[in-house]
Amino acid sequence: MGTFLYSHIAAILTYIIYKKNPLVQMVYLLVAVGGFFIYVTVGFFKYIPGPYVGGYHKTIGTLLALACYYSFYVASTSDPGILTKGSLKQALKRFQFDGQMYLKGAECRSCKI
């Protein structure tokens, strides 16, 4: 039972962390849209403007939320690039071995390089 459970948990974590999947994007959208929804429904009509918050916070908060949504869109639709054996030398110049995240001689679990 222990090895069965361990192998399934390891497979799920491998999928979440090392495979291409939309889970992080869905969680981000849930938090961002949910937070903005609460900000609008509660803050706009009840607390803004208030004794400590000026009316201009409606505009600034909305613009910041839109900037977050835009940066999320750009990050989600941009090409992240692919590390190949040909581009490895250039990548190694940018990312030095630090003994923590980048280990000398270690194989990447995602790209197998």
Q: What is the pLDDT along the chain (113 residues), one digit of tens a residue?
A: 778 899 999 999 988 888 888 988 999 999 999 999 998 998 888 888 888 888 898 999 999 999 999 999 999 899 877 777 788 778 777 777 777 777 777 777 767 77
Pairwise CA distance, residues 110 & 14, whole Å: 9
Amino acid identity of 81?
G
Neighbours of 73 (CB within 10 A): 10
Task: Give the torsion sign (CA, 102, 87, 77, 109).
Answer: negative
Q: Is it true that the peptide bond before 80 is cis, omega within 30 degrees of 0? A: no
CB within 8 A of 63, min separation 6: which ones? none
